[in-house]
Each structure stands twice: as C-alpha cells, then as structure tokens.
Amino acid sequence: MTNPPAFYWLDGRLHRADHAPASIFEHGLHYGTGVFEGIRAYDTADGPAIFRLDAHLDRLQRGADALGLAVDTAALARGCATTLRANGHRAAYLRPIAWFSGPGLGLDVGPLRSRQAVATLPWTSHLGEGAVDRGIALRTSSMRRNSRWSIPPLKLTGAYVNGILAKKEATDHGFDEALFLDADGLVCECTGENVLCVLDGRLVAVEHPDALPGITRDTLIALTGAEARPVRAEELAGADEIFVVGTSAEVTPVTRLDGRALRVGPATRELAALYQDVVHGRAEAHRGWLTPVDPALPGEAAWGGLLADAGRC
C-alpha cells in the first residue's frame, strides 16, 4: 500500500504536506511563469528507482532557460530522492516544479527570484485507474495546440491551460482525452501524451514541432526503432492500432477515435509489456535509465517536523 504524501521538498528543505509556505504574490500563480516535470519512480527488484531522471531534468532546464528562470537541477534531483524517501514511496509520480516568485507582479521577470519544489504522489495514470488495460476514447479537439511560435513546446506551467481547455471539451462530450490536430490536418499530440500508431503494419511515432518532446515516446523509439514522422489525420483515422504514451499514461491503448471503435492490437500489448519490463529494471540493457533511490538511508518520515535536505540522493 502506498503512503499518502506526508512531506514535500521546497528550496532545499522538507516540509510537512499540510504546511503551505507560498504567498499570494507568487508570480507563477498569477501568470503561469514556471516549469515542471512529471516523472515516475518504480519499485524494482533492486529497490525504488526513478526512470529517466536526467532526461526529465534536462527538459525542465530547457523550459527554465526559455523563461530565464534560475533552477538547480542537481538540487532538484536530490529533492526527488529525499521526498520519495520521506514519504516512504517505493513507486510514485514525482512532480518537480520551479517558478518565479516575487517581488512584484510586473511582466518583466528579470528582477524576480525563483523557487523550486518537489512533491511525490501515489498516483497511477491521470487517464484513470485501469486505462492502461481498458483503453481510452479520444476525441479530435476543436482547439489547436499552442503553436511553437507562441510558446515553446516544453513543460511551462501556463502553457497547460491550452491542454486543460481541450481536455474539458473532450470530457464534456463523454470522451477521455483530446487529440490536437494542426491547421493543416496533421496530428500533433494529446493533452498529456504523445501518439503512436500502426500504419500498414509499421510502427509510427507521430512527429510534430508543436508537440512536447516526450520522454516515453523517445524511449519507445529507442526500444523499437519506430519511424518518427508527420501523420495526417486521415491516416490516423485508418490506423490498425493507436496508442498514447507518456510518463503518467505509460502505454495506453486508444479504443475509440471519434466515431470509430478500435481493438487493442498485438503491437500495443507487446509494447506495453516491454515498457513495463524496462521501467521495472527487468531489461538488463536499459538499467542505465533507472536512478536507484536507496530507501535504507535515514527515514526522514520518522524524524517528523521540518527537515533540512542533507543532500543525499
């Protein structure tokens, strides 16, 4: 049984989860001037381990650079391990986040200071319990994904309002998730996942310059040699199999695209199983993607109260 989070990490220290030190003047609260990551830790045979931590923190750094936000990714890496241990989580979703704080609410972020935090949650897929087995219904959105010419496709907090609105439209119509197309009819991505499909028997990873460069997509391309290329909406509509991939969603089959029902095909099943082997450290060649978190180090949760991060990772 996974423990609910008792602690989070902020600016180098652990805090009790019920303690909220943020001010109403946090710049990130008003304007979405922050960057975050969604990472998973898995319970492997060698203990808890974080999957592709470096790739996630590199992407967070790129988002921070785009905003001109100072981040310390080494400290965030320590914060991830410290928070997992403090919460007693062997498997969890990790949420590192950095944002502009005060002083001031002007739009020039130059003078602002940054803050950074990590929360860990006993979370399964954001697409819902069992979505990985059951599959999801995807609805083509009437909205467009943020264009890269407006906001870079990185995990900038404010950019997620785009996906939240599209997701709302999809769920209001009884679907699980929204699919973004661009103005030329090319498939972009979903609100929290990239799209892969089987076209004429070949595995294809949808490529689009407005889509988030997903780490799960990258993992699956590395594992399978899937072809990465632009895909037209009509091609996707006729695909043999469709599935969406992401850190939280893992490999989730699409069983409905608008009016069309799809089966969960053999490639989807095979890749979902392969992905589980890799993230759980059962694929020897890919153990390097896992960062072990030694749960035997002092159990911060047992100490209680406000604790300094002693820099253990």
- Cβ closest to ligand PMP, residue 7 vs residue 36: 36
Tokens standing for residue 98: 């950095």
Considering the complex, what minimum distance in angstroms separates the CB of residue 38 from ligand PMP?
Answer: 5
| Closest alpha carbon to 204 in 183, 231, 177 | 231
Considering the candidates 59, 145, 155, 208, report the single residue annotated as catalytic. Answer: 155
Question: Annotated catalytic, 168?
Answer: no
Q: Return the residue matching tokens 């180098």.
A: 12
Evaluate whether 114 touches 75 at the Cβ level (below 8 Å): no
Residues 6+ away with beta carbon under 8 Å from 14: 7, 8, 82, 83, 86, 300, 306, 307, 308, 309
Which amino acid is it at 39?
Answer: I
Considering the complex, what minimum distance in angstroms separates the CB of residue 132 from ligand PMP?
Answer: 14
Considering the complex, what minimum distance in angstroms separates the CB of residue 209 from ligand PMP?
Answer: 13
Q: Is 15 helix (H, G, I), strand (E, B) or coil?
A: strand
| Closest alpha carbon to 253 in 272, 276, 231, 235 | 272
- Cβ closest to ligand PMP, residue 193 vs residue 241: 193
Query: DSSP readout, 194-218?
Result: EEEEEETTEEEEE--TTS---HHHH
- Cβ closest to ligand PMP, residue 176 vs residue 193: 193
DSSP for residue 180: E
Tokens standing for residue 303: 């100490």
- Cβ closest to ligand PMP, residue 101 vs residue 191: 191
- Cβ closest to ligand PMP, residue 87 vs residue 191: 191
58 phi and psi, to 5 degrees? -65, -45
Cβ neighbours of 174 (radius 10 Å): 8
User: Rule CB under 6 A: which residues touch ligand PMP?
Assistant: 38, 163, 189, 191-194, 212, 214-217, 246-247
Tokens standing for residue 86: 């403090």
Considering the complex, what minimum distance in angstroms separates the CB of residue 17 from ligand PMP?
Answer: 23
Sign of CA dihedral 262, 268, 272, 273: positive
Considering the complex, what minimum distance in angstroms separates the CB of residue 245 from ligand PMP?
Answer: 6
Considering the complex, what minimum distance in angstroms separates the CB of residue 160 from ligand PMP?
Answer: 7
- Cβ closest to ligand PMP, residue 33 vs residue 101: 33
d(CA 225, CA 101): 43
Catalytic residues: 155
